[in-house]
C-alpha cells in the first residue's frame, strides 16, 4: 500500500475556498487502476497559513506513478496553475510506503 500526500500551506481566510475547489473537482480517480481511497485533510494552523494535505491511498507505488503519467492526470490538473493562488509557495509532495499495519 502506498500513500501519496501533497501538503498545501493555505493562506488564512482562504480555507473554505480551498475546500470548495477540491469538493467541486472532477478527478475521475475512481476509474484509475490501483486507486483505493482519497481524503482531503485539514491540519494545524500556523501564523500565516493552515496546513492542508491531500491524502490518496494506492495499491502500490507503481499504480500511483502510472497515474501521474496518464492522460487522466493531465486533465485533472489542467488549469490548476491558472486559479487564484489560495496557498503559499508550491505544494510539497511526499510519498509513503506502508511498512507496518495493525495497532
- The site for its own copies (CB under 8 A) is made up of 1, 3, 19, 22-23, 27-30, 35, 37-44, 51-53, 55, 94-103
Find the shortest distance in angstroms from Cβ 66 to its own copies. 16
Nearer to its own copies, 20 or 74 (CB): 20
Shortest CA distance to 12 belongs to which of 40, 55, 47, 61? 47
Least distance to its own copies, CB of residue 85, Å: 20
Q: Given the C-alpha cell 494552523, which residue does it identify?
A: 45
Q: How far is the CB of 41 from its own copies (least distance, A)?
A: 4
Name 53's bridge partners. Answer: 7, 41
Amino acid at each position: 500500500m502506498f500513500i501519496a500526500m501533497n501538503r498545501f500551506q493555505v493562506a488564512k481566510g482562504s480555507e473554505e475556498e480551498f475546500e470548495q475547489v477540491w469538493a467541486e473537482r472532477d478527478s475521475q480517480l475512481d476509474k484509475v487502476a490501483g486507486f483505493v481511497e482519497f481524503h482531503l485533510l485539514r491540519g494545524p494552523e500556523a501564523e500565516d497559513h493552515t496546513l492542508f494535505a491531500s491524502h490518496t491511498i494506492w495499491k502500490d507505488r507503481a499504480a500511483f506513478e502510472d497515474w501521474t503519467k496518464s492522460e487522466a492526470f493531465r486533465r485533472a490538473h489542467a488549469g490548476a496553475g491558472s486559479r487564484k493562488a489560495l496557498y503559499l509557495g508550491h505544494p510539497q509532495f511526499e510519498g509513503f510506503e506502508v511498512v507496518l499495519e495493525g495497532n
